[in-house]
Amino acid sequence: MRRTDRQMADGRPIHYFDDTEPWVSGANARSAVDTRDLPAVATTSTMRWDVLTGEWVAHAAHRQDRTFMPPADLCPLCPARPGKEPGEVPEADYDVVVFANRFPSYAGAGTDLASQAESLVDGEALWPVRPAVGRCEVVCFTADHSATFASLPVSRVRTVVEAWADRTAELSSLAGVREGGEVFVFENRGKEIGVTLQHPHGQIYAYPAPTPRTSQLLVQAQRHRAAHGTSLLADVLAAEQRAGTRVVLRGEHWTAYVPAAARWPVEFHLAPHRDVPDLAALDAGERDELAQVYSEMLKRLDRYFDGVDALPYIAGWHQAPLGADRDLGRLHLQAFSVLRQPGKLKYLAGSESGAGAWINDTTPERIADRLREVAS
C-alpha cells in the first residue's frame, strides 16, 4: 500500500491510499491538480454546554447547504472524468482516498484548546460556548459509484483498514484532540440512515473531548475496575465467548457477537482478542483477519432480511479516548440497522428519544441465530 499526499483547491489535504498498479509501486505518481475555484473552508461551528445532561452539543449551521443526494453523474466523490463536473477527487481513478470534509461539523484541529476563548450564551454562566475544534474527514472506499463496502474484495477492505489506522494515528496527534479527545471512524449506509451521498464512503471525526457514549462507558469502566480490578470491555468479550450463545463468528484474532443487551433490531459488535486501544495499534495479522471478518459480517447484514439486498446500517469503531482515561477504553466495533422488518423502520419515538428508555422489538439471541444462518 502506498500513501500519497496532495492538496485540494481550497487548501484541504487529500490522501491517496493505493493498492493497484501503476500507483502502488510508484511507477506513476498522483499528480492531478484540483483546478476548481474554491474559497477557503469557513465554518461557524460552536459547542454549547447542555447543563441538563452534562454534554457538549455542536452547532454547525453551515452544513444546511451541503450537497444532498445528487445524481450519479454529479457525484462529488467520483473520480474526475471527461465531461463530468469536477468533484472532490481530481484524479481520473483511485483505490481509496481520504480528504478533509468541505462541510465539517468540527474544524480547526491543530489549535491548542487552551488558546480558545470560552464565552457565555446571553452572558449566562449556565451556558458556556466555545469553538467546535476538531477534524472531519471523508473516506471513499472505491472509485466505483455502484459498489458497496460488502462487495469490495478483501484486498481492498485491507487497504481501507490501513487507511483507518493511518488516519487514526495522525488525527490522534493533533493539538485540540490529543489532550483528551476521541477519534471515531464510521460508515452510514442507506437513505433510511440519512446519508446525503450514495457513493460508498465513510467518515472519521476527531472530537475535542470524549463523546457522550464514550463518557458513559468510561464511568462504567471505572466502576468495574474499582470493583473487580479488571477491564470492563475485555471482561464483556470473555463472557460472550464463554456463553457462546450470541457469538456469530470467531477467528484467531477477532470475535463477532450480538451484545447481551442489544438495543437495535439488527446489531453486532466486533472486538479483537488482544487488548488494543485503537486501529493504529493493530498488528499486521490482526489487520489481515479484520479485513476478512468485517467483509463477511457486512455480507451477512445484506442477507439478514429476505428481499432486502442492501441493509441500511451504521458501523462505528469505538476507540480508546486520548488523555488520562485511555487505559479504560478498548477498540471495538458496533454495527446496527434501524430496519426491524422489510419496509419497517425502528423509530426512536417517545420512550427512546424522549426518555432515553430503550425498547427492542426482538431478542439478542434471535439476532445471533439469524446472523449465523446467513453465513457464507
CATH of the domain at 23: 3.30.428.10
- Give the pLDDT confidence score for residue 1 in this predicted structure: 95
Q: Which of 184, 211, 238 is the last residue of a domain?
A: 211
For residues 265 and 229, state if they share a domain.
yes
Instruction: Domain count for the chain, please give it.
Output: 2
Percent of the chain exceeding pLDDT 70 equals: 97
| Helix, strand or coil, per DSSP, at residue 130 | strand
Mean pLDDT computed over 20-33: 94
Regarding whether 323 and 308 lie in a shared domain, the answer is: yes
- The mean per-residue pLDDT over the stretch 176-188 comes to 95
Whether residue 152 is found in the same domain as residue 241? no
Which residue among 161, 185, 211 closes a domain? 211
Same domain for 225 and 199: no
E-strand stretches of the chain: 2-7, 13-18, 46-50, 55-59, 96-100, 107-108, 119-120, 128-131, 133-140, 182-189, 201-207, 247-250, 254-257, 266-272, 313-318, 332-337, 339-341, 344-345
Report angle CA 338, 343, 349 to the nearest 5 degrees.
Answer: 45
**274 plus 196 within the same structural domain:** no
State whether 182 and 247 are in the same domain: no
Model pTM? 0.95
Are 322 and 262 found together in one domain? yes
Mean pLDDT over each residue of the chain, to the nearest integer: 94
Structural domain that includes position 305: 213-373
Contacting residues for 245 by C-beta, under 8 A, at least 6 apart: 365, 368
Nearest one of 130, 276, 112 to 178, comparing CA atoms: 112
How far, in Å, CA of 24 to CA of 159, rounded? Answer: 11
Backbone angles phi, psi at 335, to 5 degrees: -125, 135
- Bridge-based pairing of strands 332-337 and 313-318 is antiparallel
For the segment 287-302, the average pLDDT, to the nearest whole number, is 98
* Alpha carbons 80 and 36: distance in angstroms, whole number: 12
What's the average model confidence in pLDDT over 146-153?
A: 97
Share of the chain above pLDDT 90, in %: 85
> Residues with catalytic annotation?
201
Query: Who has greater pLDDT, 143 or 61?
Result: 143
Nearest Cα to 301, choosing from 293, 309, 291? 309
Q: What's residue 73's pLDDT?
A: 86
Q: Which of 149, 182, 211 is the last residue of a domain?
A: 211
Has 332 been labeled as part of a binding site? no
Question: Is residue 78 a known part of a binding site?
Answer: yes
If pLDDT is split at 50, 70 and 90, which confidence band does 84 have?
confident
What is the amino acid identity at position 135?
R
Q: For 294, how many CA atoms within 13 A lie in the half-sphere containing its CB? A: 28
- Whether omega before 364 lies within 30 degrees of 0, making that bond cis, reads no
Q: Give whole-number Cα distances, 93 to 17, 30, 31, 63, 275, in Å.
A: 12, 10, 12, 28, 37
pLDDT band at 40, cuts 50/70/90?
Answer: confident
Q: Specify whether 206 is located in the same domain as 109.
A: yes
- At 116, is the pLDDT very low, low, confident or very high (cuts 50, 70, 90)? low
- Please list the residues that pair with 316 across neighbouring strands: 186, 334
Higher pLDDT: 41 or 246? It is 246
Q: What is the mean pLDDT of residues 1-14?
A: 96
Q: Dump the DSSP string for 3-58.
A: EEEEE-TTS-EEEEEE-STTTTTTSS----------PPP----EEEEETTTTEEEE
pLDDT of residue 110: 58
For residue 67, count other CB atoms closer than 10 A to its CB. Answer: 15
pLDDT > 60? residue 112 = no
Looking at the structure, do residues 349 and 337 belong to the same domain, yes or no?
yes
On whether both 180 and 293 belong to a single domain, the answer is: no
Cβ–Cβ contacts within 10 Å for residue 340, how many? 17
Is residue 209 predicted with pLDDT exceeding 80?
Answer: yes
Residue 268, sorted as left (phi over 0), alpha (psi -120 to 50) or beta, turns out to be: beta
**Which of the four pLDDT bands, split at 50, 70 and 90, describes residue 43?**
confident
Residues 117 and 200 occupy one common structural domain: yes
Mean pLDDT of all residues in 317-327: 96
Q: Are residues 225 and 78 in the same domain?
A: no
Q: Give the Cα separation of 290 and 270 in Å (integer).
A: 9
Half-sphere exposure of 69 (CA within 13 A, CB side): 7
Q: Can you tell me the mean pLDDT for 260-282?
A: 98
End-to-end CA distance of the chain: 28
Three-state DSSP at 73 gives helix
What is the identity of the amino acid at 340? R
Is pLDDT above 80 for 44?
no
Q: Tell me the mean pLDDT in the region 240-245.
A: 98
CB 302 within 8 A of CB 150: yes
